[in-house]
């Protein structure tokens, strides 16, 4: 319960807990016979999966199968949160085949076809156009997952794609993380990160680029991911090669289903009194 609240109320703790061996015990809770413990475990995994860097890390502990099992056999709350956790994990390209092969989308459709779910949908949606849009969103997602998991085909299959995790590793390789020290404060021309406009503190993780500009590690990484530019925020000197940035941009364009994900999360939350949105 406490871990769930920690990752819910303090997003910066999400990756820390994922890397601190908290994932494996949480996955064991998903298979618990106690419905309450199962819900806590699933909800915590869902909150952890909100952090991009945690998604691939969570899947590496075989979290997908227990989540799919909970989607089939769990309580209504467990089913909702399992579905949303699977959607979040699916945003990492490497996780898509495993999720597709698990038939999670089929179970999602089965959930919607149940009498209780359809009654809730009918009560919640009075507009036929909206219901039709949601149905075709589900259908499109299932087709996409099926094609990707079985064939691995994409519109850019002849071009190399790199994942977010690989992109971050290349940033680290070219610009290793260091810790800010008092000595650096004395010698540095600037003691402020120009991305977040905060002064460096002793022990802060930083990256010093080849152009000599220094930033907080997380600030620079977010900048390079968000804008897919591969350049220094100040002087626009290249941080990564153009082909690497282009490969990452293609991957982002190919797997960005955030709009559809949000619609589906909204739909699932409606099934049981909007309980999911109360978690955030």
pLDDT tens per residue, range 3-14: 444 444 454 544
Whether 2-154+264-279 and 164-254 share one fold: the answer is: no
Domain range 164-254, CATH class: alpha beta
Closest CA to 164 of 56, 59, 62, 63: 56
- Highest mean pLDDT pick, 84-98, 128-142, 202-216, 225-239: 202-216
- Domain regions of the chain by residue span: 2-154+264-279, 164-254
List pLDDT tens digits, range 30-72.
777 788 888 878 787 777 776 666 666 676 667 778 888 887 7
Asked if the model's pLDDT at residue 91 lies above 70, the reply is yes
pLDDT, position 116: 47
- Distance, in Å, from the CA atom of 166 to the CA atom of 164, rounded to the nearest integer, reads 5
Q: Are 249 and 226 in contact, with CB atoms under 8 Å apart? A: no
Across residues 86-112, what is the average pLDDT? Answer: 70
Domain range 2-154+264-279, CATH class: mainly alpha
- Distance, in Å, from the CA atom of 228 to the CA atom of 253, rounded to the nearest integer, reads 11
């Amino acid at each position: 319960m406490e871990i769930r609240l920690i990752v819910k109320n303090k997003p910066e703790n999400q990756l820390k807990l994922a890397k601190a061996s908290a994932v494996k015990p949480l996955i064991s809770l998903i298979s618990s016979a106690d419905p309450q413990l199962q819900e806590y475990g699933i909800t915590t995994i869902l909150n952890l999966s909100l952090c991009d860097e945690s998604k691939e890390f969570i899947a590496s502990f075989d979290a997908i199968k227990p989540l799919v099992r909970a989607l089939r056999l769990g309580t209504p709350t467990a089913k909702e949160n399992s579905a949303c956790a699977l959607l979040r994990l699916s945003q990492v390209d490497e996780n898509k085949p495993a999720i597709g092969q698990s038939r999670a989308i089929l179970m999602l459709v089965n959930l919607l076809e149940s009498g209780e779910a359809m009654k809730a949908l009918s009560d919640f949606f009075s507009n036929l156009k909206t219901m039709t849009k949601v149905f075709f969103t589900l259908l499109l997602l299932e087709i996409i997952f099926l094609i990707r998991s079985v064939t691995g085909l994409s519109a850019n299959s002849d071009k190399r794609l790199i994942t977010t995790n690989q992109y971050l590793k290349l940033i680290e390789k070219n610009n290793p993380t260091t810790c800010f020290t008092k000595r650096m404060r004395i010698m540095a021309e600037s003691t402020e990160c120009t991305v977040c406009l905060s002064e460096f503190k002793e022990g802060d993780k930083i990256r010093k680029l080849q152009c000599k500009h220094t930033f907080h590690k997380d600030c620079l990484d977010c900048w390079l991911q968000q804008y897919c530019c591969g350049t220094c925020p100040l002087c626009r000197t290249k941080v990564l090669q153009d082909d690497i940035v282009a490969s990452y941009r293609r991957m982002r364009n190919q797997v960005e289903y955030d709009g559809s994900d949000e619609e589906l999360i909204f739909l699932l939350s409606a099934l049981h009194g909007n309980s999911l949105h109360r978690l955030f």
